[in-house]
Amino acid sequence: MLSDSNPITYSYSDACSVLSALGFEVAPHAGGSHRRWRLKTKSGNVVLIGLVEKGNGTLKPYLIRDMVQQLRIHALIPAELENE
């Protein structure tokens, strides 16, 4: 996902695996397919990442790009992965 310039093959499950491994949790929601994943950082900031859970299909590429961008902005990507 990090180096994929056209991330068209990633599912909601793929993104969930990444976010869960980094300590994110799904924020409570009122229904529908939109999910907010959140993480409270050690500095007290809250990082929110929005995804759309739509069954077995793939996520829109902009959602993956936005997710990776937020992870980079908040320095949440392990250095060994960023350098690959």
pLDDT at position 50 is: 94
**Is 1 within a domain?**
no
Domain count along the chain: 1
4 located within any domain? no
Query: Residue 11 — pLDDT band, cuts 50, 70, 90?
Result: very high
Question: Is the residue at 30 inside a domain?
Answer: yes
Q: Is residue 21 part of a domain?
A: yes
pLDDT at 78: 79
**Mean pLDDT of all residues in 60-64:** 94
Structural domain contains residue 83 = no
3-state secondary structure of 58: strand
Domain of 38 in residue numbering reads as 12-78
Residue 62 lies in a domain: yes
Q: Is residue 5 part of a domain?
A: no
Q: Which of 2-6, 52-56, 67-71 has the lowest mean pLDDT?
A: 52-56
Residue whose tokens read 């009122």:
30
pLDDT tens digits, residue range 19-39? 999 999 999 887 888 999 999
* Sequence-ordered list of residues with C-beta below 8 angstroms from that of 19, at least 6 positions apart, any chain: 37, 39, 49, 67
Task: Yes or no: say if 12 and 63 are a contact pair by the CB < 8 Å rule.
Answer: no
The answer to the question of residue 2 being in a domain is no
Q: Is the pLDDT of residue 59 over 80?
A: yes
Mean pLDDT over residues 53-74, rounded? 90
